Structure 1
Amino acid sequence: LQEDQYDYRRKINTYYPFHDEGEWELARFLVENLTQTQIDKFLKLKWFHTRPRPSFTSKDQLLDWIDALPSFVPWKVSTMEFTGYKTTYPLQLIWRDALKVVKQLFSDPVFANHITFQPHVVNTGGQREYGDYMSADMAWKIQDHLPVGATQVPIILGSDKTPVTRTTGGLEMHPLFITIGNLDLEVRSKATLRAWRCIAYMPIAKFHVHPDYQGILQARLWHRCVDLVCANLKVAAKDGCFMPDPSRYIHYVFTPLEVDPWDLDKFQKAAKAVHLSGVHMPYWRDWTFACPSVFLTGEVLHTCIKFFADHPLNWIKETVGKPELNARFMVQHKRVGTRHFTKGVTHVNQMTGREHRDIQRTIVASIAGAAPPRFIRSICALIEFIYLSQDPVHSPDSLQLMAQALSDFHSFKDAIVDAEARRGKKGVKDDFFIPKLELLQSFRGMVEKLGTLMQFSADMTERLLITHCKHLFERTNRRSTDFTEQCVRILNRQESMELFNLYALFYSRGASLVNAIRIEDEEVTTVNPALSWISRVLPDETHSVHGPRPVRNHFLKGILSGDALTAFHLTSTPDFNALTPIAIEAKYSLVDFNHALSQFINQLSLSTGEHTRWDHGYGRFCTWNKFRLQLHSAFQPRVIMPSRVIQAYPPSDAFPLGNCDTVLINVTGDDGQSTSRVAQVRLIFQPKIPRASDLVLPMYLSSPLLYVQFFHFVANPSDRPELAMWTVERTYMIDQRGRRCRCGGVVSLTDVTHAVELIPEYGNKVDERISSATSLESYDRFFLNSFADKESYHTFSTEFA
């Protein structure tokens, strides 16, 4: 920026060529949100006849000014030729020098607190941790071959082809993306943080040859293009080069190819057919340290999630039956923040990776009773493997568990064949020749070499295809001849505006352009490097930054548990105010509320020695229909997770028995020992003292309380190895009138430790009279779903075990 030709003018007017900050914001808004036609219409409004006009008078002048802003690495156009082969259109590669893009990423001050320069080993509890690339074996192996003091900048590439029109034979784009392994995994996993950059749009070629040769020529063209784009990266990998880091220190760096995550199964199928790939000059042939067996990694989205959708989910449909499987998903209790399949899971032909993940959450518990135990165990083993493969941090123990899960699947997969669930076009199949399944065998070795596999998931590439292709295409005139060039111009303007906006913001406020390194000792509520930088230096300007916003941190102002590991939040205004005990019993259908509260007060007054004159029978209560519970990550204790809503709604027309979620609570027994129990939250309340009263409540009545109904454990995971879950049952008691009723009690809000999900034990068939509004109230026996989310799975397989 300081080397830009107009830098001397910006010493006088930071926002040159625009008049001031306000005009710059207007210009940026117009370019980001309106088409060129709409910008022209806006500038010709009669509104400007009686008011000052902006300095730019037309959309052409505005775009010229935007194009004159300092930009990232410039784009080029190269014509590719295949001697002897004609194409429908000229082969034009739109690209920019990958090494220059890498230098810009490596030196970007935004990433100053999110970048690593040297390999390292992390040991926790006597176990080595495998996190990002720099903590794995390959980083150390390459470092041993570099000059003393040199820095490696591992290259990560991503590429895929996507249609941008829906018509048959429509337009397609094939971008190539790049990032570096020095950046933190959390930064690289979000498209809005600019850690990934587009470096090329590959030509989409249609050769005038026999169809058998079309694929081979297209593959050769792709490799030749990557060869050109990455040529300088190869030189740097061999000879090294100098780069400044975000703090402006110079490093002598080498650029090994770390990973190129693509659909290995497609490559494998094509190669196996003729025992060759058809590409005689692959782009990695002269890339120092590059070995296809290392950098062509399996990745979670296709190798795990897509594999589940294509195979295990179909096996389940065949074994359980589509109507029954749909019914089991349709009647599951609805939790806030969790996808509910109102119409089942078999009616949609095309689902996203997110939907497939949501199906995995409850599939194991849902099919219990409808499929043979050995069949369920094989499916459970695969889900365990998929969950473990997504851990953000691995250890030798977790890798052993992952390997054991895959081994368990192979031990029980014969049940899938016995159920005739694996089928092909010609009927039942008795083999498991599935390329994706074979790739799972390599996951353990990949983690040890390159670090956690989540850093290479194609989720990011899929998202980038939307932001860098489909969204950009919608802003072009859709001409087939030059729509790619238009996309590049739009992309270049976006990058220029982001860069200029950040520079102008700091420069106009007199802030340093060097992002000071800070010690990461505080809790983390979000990973957004630009937002973190501005919030420290210019806290009043955080609104100007796009991207993920911080998770609301209830640990700062919320209610904390005794060990400060859990935070709770209630709205300042209750849903109901000043209810009497009789009104609560009627509204919430809790016939023993008054008795349960009396027991709670008697027990706590004896154990704490704090007695009260307050008569709860004539008291008034505030009640809430929900509260929020927030925890730290089970994998990374410094990271604060988004809060989860726990519902406790009274009966209504939509929910005739109430809409109440389940939690795990700590209770103290008669022997003084603390144990965990599963309970359903039926009421959230707090005593209300009149303002004129001088009555002071004891501590145990001064904070929010819960009325809950208990469950008790009837089986542990070893009793039902096919599910690997705890089984719970509702606890009943005989009341004073001799009636059998649910066992309830009052506990403190801070006794809650986790939100949990219960899946009913449906048996052979789901009762047709039950719906999602009544399923949690209609069954008595449930499975404690350990696959509710990855955090829950880790907790139940470690702490709760």
Structure 2
Amino acid sequence: MSITGRPCDEHGKFLPEGAPPPPRTTQSHNNFEPFDDRVHFEAADFLYTRNQMSAGDIDFLGLLWAATLLKHNSTPPFSDHKHLYETIDSIKHGDVPWQSRTFKYTGKVPDPKAVPSWMSAGYNVCFRDPRQIVHNMLANPDFDGEFDYTPVREHTRGGQRRKDFMSGDWAWEQADIIGKDPETHGSVFVPIILGSDKTTVSVATGQNEYYPLYMSIGNVHNNVRRAHRNALVLLGFLAVPKSTKEHNQDPEFRRFRRQLVHTTLSVILQSIKSGITKPEVVRCPDGHFRKAIFGIGLYIADYPEQVLLACIVQGWCPKYV
């Protein structure tokens, strides 16, 4: 097997066997970037996190603050709530920031004078960059010692033992397929696991019902994932259009509902597409850099969602179609 997870440097050049990992960079305790200093950071933390002050009150406080500093020829750290939010969003450390995109029906309208509500509505989808999330997971030192860099086969007296994701046949089969490309030799295979369940959390907002989309990676051992040690993260919220009872069985509406889910997933996963065919250098839990090749491992969903994802008729098996 050529997918061996061999350490390399940050530029992708393989290291000699036994070479130590490069030291991790640590940020100075006195660095409060993008805030000017600790006072400005504490002010933002108080307004946004501890007090959760409304935008209007932040603006009013900013005016009072500016008035008191005027005689000193100075200005407050935040001119208004937008300035505060923009500064917080520009923080480079922490969770991957959220983004959103609105989808709408763009097909033919049967009657311009009687357009169904689902055709004119906008469907907002919130998500985070899956590529950056995967990079953050791979760089998490908490996973060191509980992370598989290659597919694993463990044999006991009773036969082959299957425990974690990378011990399954699928991981081996994918590694063999990926290894046919010489450019992937020495890489680590990173299976991406997706899952959603709209029955777990739903927030009704007008025409939309949101339900969560989760992501994990197959390299992390099962005990870590079950312990919720940042091995399972919220990737986004999918939108499912609602319609009136009159249009629920409309073939055009049902087609749009399927297309919306597939298009949404395609947009969300766009950033990892290049990493599926071409290895990219990532930091790993043990501190080493390695070339990684991504792959969509599996999608965990209940049967109604499997029907929606596989575009099959209710009652059919999504595997044997």
Report how far residue 207 of structure 1 moved.
5.9
2:296 pairs, out of 250, 253, 257, with 257
Q: Deviations over 1:91-121 (max 9, x none)?
A: 4444444334323332344544543211122
Change (3 A) 1:80 1:184: farther
Identity of aligned residues (%): 23
Change (3 A) 1:230 1:67: closer
- Counterpart in the other structure of 1:77: 101
**What code does the residue aligned with 1:150 have?**
S
Q: Deviations over 1:630-678 (max 9, x none)?
A: xxxxxxxxxxxxxxxxxxxxxxxxxxxxxxxxxxxxxxxxxxxxxxxxx
1:218 pairs, out of 241, 247, 257, with 257
Is contact 1:178–1:198 with CA below 8 Å preserved after alignment?
yes
Q: Which has the higher contact order (CA 8 A, sep 6+)?
A: 2
Report how far residue 150 of structure 1 moved.
2.7
Rounded to whole Å, the distance in 2 between the matches of 1:30 and 1:114 is 39
Rounded to whole Å, the distance in 2 between the matches of 1:151 and 1:215 is 40
- Counterpart in the other structure of 2:147: 115
Is contact 1:151–1:252 with CA below 8 Å preserved after alignment?
yes
Is contact 2:203–2:211 with CA below 8 Å preserved after alignment?
no
Correspondence list, 1:595-614, <5 A:
none
Rounded to whole Å, the distance in 1 between the matches of 2:302 and 2:216 is 19
- Counterpart in the other structure of 1:16: 33
Is contact 1:175–1:198 with CA below 8 Å preserved after alignment?
yes
Residue 65 in structure 1 maps to residue 87 in structure 2: yes
Q: Deviations over 1:724-769 (max 9, x none)?
A: xxxxxxxxxxxxxxxxxxxxxxxxxxxxxxxxxxxxxxxxxxxxxx
2:278 pairs, out of 223, 227, 240, with 240
Q: SS of 2:84's equivalent? A: helix
Is contact 1:177–1:196 with CA below 8 Å preserved after alignment?
yes
Is contact 2:89–2:97 with CA below 8 Å preserved after alignment?
no
Report how far residue 229 of structure 1 moved.
2.2
Report how far residue 136 of structure 1 moved.
2.1
Is contact 1:242–1:250 with CA below 8 Å preserved after alignment?
no
Q: Which runs of 5+ in 1 are unaligned?
A: 1-9, 277-291, 295-801
Q: SS of 2:266's equivalent? A: helix
Tell me the C-alpha RMSD between the 2 structures.
Answer: 4.3
Change (3 A) 1:19 1:177: same
Rounded to whole Å, the distance in 2 between the matches of 1:163 and 1:189 is 23
Q: Deviations over 1:397-431 (max 9, x none)?
A: xxxxxxxxxxxxxxxxxxxxxxxxxxxxxxxxxxx
TM-score, normalized by length of structure 1?
0.28
1:28 pairs, out of 39, 45, 48, with 45
Residue 187 in structure 1 maps to residue 224 in structure 2: yes
TM-score, normalized by length of structure 2?
0.63
Rounded to whole Å, the distance in 2 between the matches of 1:114 and 1:254 is 19
- Counterpart in the other structure of 2:166: 134
- Counterpart in the other structure of 1:415: none
Q: Which has the larger radius of gyration?
A: 1
Deviating more after overlay: 150-159 vs 243-252 = 243-252
Is contact 1:150–1:254 with CA below 8 Å preserved after alignment?
yes
Q: Which runs of 5+ in 2 are unaligned?
A: 1-26, 69-75, 110-117, 180-184
Report how far residue 226 of structure 1 moved.
1.0
Change (3 A) 1:81 1:98: farther
Change (3 A) 1:92 1:122: same
Q: SS of 1:70's equivalent? A: coil
Is contact 1:240–1:252 with CA below 8 Å preserved after alignment?
no
2:136 pairs, out of 73, 84, 104, with 104
**What code does the residue aligned with 1:14 have?**
N
Change (3 A) 1:84 1:98: farther
Is contact 1:158–1:260 with CA below 8 Å preserved after alignment?
yes
Is contact 2:166–2:219 with CA below 8 Å preserved after alignment?
yes
